[in-house]
Structure 1
Amino acid sequence: MSRAVGGTETAAAGTPPERPVRPRRAVPERRGRPRSAAADTAIIEAVLRMIEDGASIGELSMERIAREAGVGKATVYRRWPGKSALMLDVMRSLDEPGPQLNGASLRDDLVSLLEFLRRRGLAKRNSALLRTVVSHVQAQPELWAEYHETVVQARHEALLDVLRRGMANGEIRADQDVETISDLFVGPMLARAVLHEWKELPEGLAEDIVDMVLEGVRPKERPEPG
């Protein structure tokens, strides 16, 4: 899900780069012999390079990936038990962190989150590389569930935190389910980006959605007693 909410998301509409710029992934700590960040990067870059050159994911064996990366096959298998696990990290490498929210303005934070989704949608539409990797991961329920739990869910929680703050401040109705309200904000953007890919994702769309939804979820003013 655009990749947040950096490189993949910063292209202007109509002129995005074919290959998004990827931030460096943090290498998780493990016991025993330390992993080489350079080897991790070389392996992931090798996969991306081969896909860009026209290889299908089905044509990529762990042996071929190791040769392209200039490492031994054992080096690849020490990091990933199989190609599916490797492809999940390849997809994560195409992501970027979500936007920094300053908490000063409910509207500004909501716009930042939706703008991240808009740019993510543009990146996927215009990058054959990103579409290929995302489609592969989505087609495997276990991989997609792990990606959702480790990446998508964190972005969703960031939105819920903003909405709960708005409820506490009296800017959003507190008598409605926060999950439902979150769907009202992200639904229109996701519908265009995922369900109706022929529809445009123009600049200013995030602001329009936020303003329309905020108008509907503001607390209703109670009539003064006569």
Structure 2
Amino acid sequence: MTRTGTSEETAAAAAPRRGRPRSEAAEQAIVAAVLRLIERGYPLALLSVEGIAAEAGVGKATIYRRWPNKEELLLDVLQRIDEPEPPRHDGSVRDALVAVLEFLRQAALARRAHASLAVLSTELRSMPELYRRYHEKVIEPRRARMRELLARGVESGEIRGDLDLDLLGDLVIGPMLSRTLLRPGAELDDPALSATIVDTVLQGIAPPVTGSGAPPL
């Protein structure tokens, strides 16, 4: 029988590839350690790779193999704790806007339920570069999707087309963000809240005109 390979080739094929596989368990332990430290009151700016590694029970090298610096680790943590966004809604633009607001409502409820998430959102502004990166990677893509959705509504005739799309987006999501960021004790448990906000914005807040006269001032 003819041999199809040398013993050296066989050994090379059986040898493990260079580099260490990423450990999901280690990553989860590191992310959990960051959240625990924040919940205990450690400011973001004062967190250190050494402290995070000690809390997670790993070496600093384990962190640096996954993230080049503390800022990238914190950015990853921020992205991981975000609720998954709803898939594209191909129905009416009204229903798609309700889905967007429902995503924001659920994310706000999650933050209220976990102190570390609420603190993390507040502390983010203490690190301007991290705040900028978060907006670049998370917030701006969401705003772009909102503009695309509203443009679809203008094209379909569901939304008036004489206003700036960014302004329209602010009008839709502003009430939910106000309850999330500016009024931490405001009601968010009502499952009809998202639809109420969207329908109110789409219909306007002026009272309906009755008869031929203008509504009373």
TM-score of the superposed pair, with normalisation by structure 1: 0.72
Does residue 101 in structure 1 map to residue 76 in structure 2? no
Cα deviation 1:204-223 (Å, max 9, x = unaligned): 11111111111139xxxxxx
Structure 1 residue 133: deviation in Å?
Answer: 1.9
Whole-angstrom distance in 2 between the partners of 1:188 and 1:198: 14
Work out which structure has the larger RCO, using CA pairs closer than 8 Å and 6 or more positions apart in sequence.
Answer: 1
Aligned match of 1:16: none
Does residue 147 in structure 1 map to residue 134 in structure 2? yes
Does residue 206 in structure 1 map to residue 194 in structure 2? yes
Structure 1 residue 102: deviation in Å?
Answer: 2.4
Aligned match of 1:180: 167
Q: Alpha carbons of 1:108 and 1:50: their partners in 2 closer, same or farther (altered >3 Å)?
A: same
- Of the three residues 133, 136, 149, the one matched with 1:162 is 149
- Of the three residues 67, 73, 79, the one matched with 2:66 is 79
Whole-angstrom distance in 2 between the partners of 1:60 and 1:181: 38
Contact kept, 8 Å, 1:163 with 1:182, in 2: the verdict is yes
Aligned match of 2:42: 56
- Flag the structure with larger Rg: 2
Contact kept, 8 Å, 2:124 with 2:131, in 1: the verdict is yes
Does residue 171 in structure 1 map to residue 158 in structure 2? yes
Listed as ranges, the gaps of 5+ residues in structure 1 are 1-31, 218-226
Whole-angstrom distance in 2 between the partners of 1:149 and 1:192: 23
Whole-angstrom distance in 2 between the partners of 1:57 and 1:178: 36
Structure 1 residue 87: deviation in Å?
Answer: 1.9
Whole-angstrom distance in 2 between the partners of 1:215 and 1:132: 36
Q: Alpha carbons of 1:79 and 1:104: their partners in 2 closer, same or farther (altered >3 Å)?
A: same
**Mean Cα displacement is larger for which, 206-215 or 121-130?**
121-130
Contact kept, 8 Å, 1:124 with 1:130, in 2: the verdict is yes
Whole-angstrom distance in 2 between the partners of 1:120 and 1:45: 18
Cα deviation 1:165-207 (Å, max 9, x = unaligned): 1111111111221111111111111112111223212321111
Whole-angstrom distance in 2 between the partners of 1:106 and 1:55: 42
Whole-angstrom distance in 1 between the partners of 2:179 and 2:52: 35
Q: Map 1:187-198 to 2 at 5 A.
A: 187-198=174-185
Whole-angstrom distance in 2 between the partners of 1:119 and 1:95: 10
Aligned match of 2:30: 43
Whole-angstrom distance in 1 between the partners of 2:163 and 2:33: 48
Structure 1 residue 42: deviation in Å?
Answer: 3.0
Q: Map 1:1-80 to 2 at 5 A.
A: 33=19, 36-38=22-24, 39-52=26-39, 54=40, 56-57=42-43, 60-80=47-67
Q: Alpha carbons of 1:34 and 1:153: their partners in 2 closer, same or farther (altered >3 Å)?
A: farther
Q: Identity rate of aligned residues, in percent?
A: 46
Listed as ranges, the gaps of 5+ residues in structure 2 are 1-17, 206-217
Q: How many residues align?
A: 185
Structure 1 residue 50: deviation in Å?
Answer: 4.4
TM-score of the superposed pair, with normalisation by structure 2: 0.74
Structure 1 residue 49: deviation in Å?
Answer: 4.0
Contact kept, 8 Å, 2:150 with 2:169, in 1: the verdict is yes
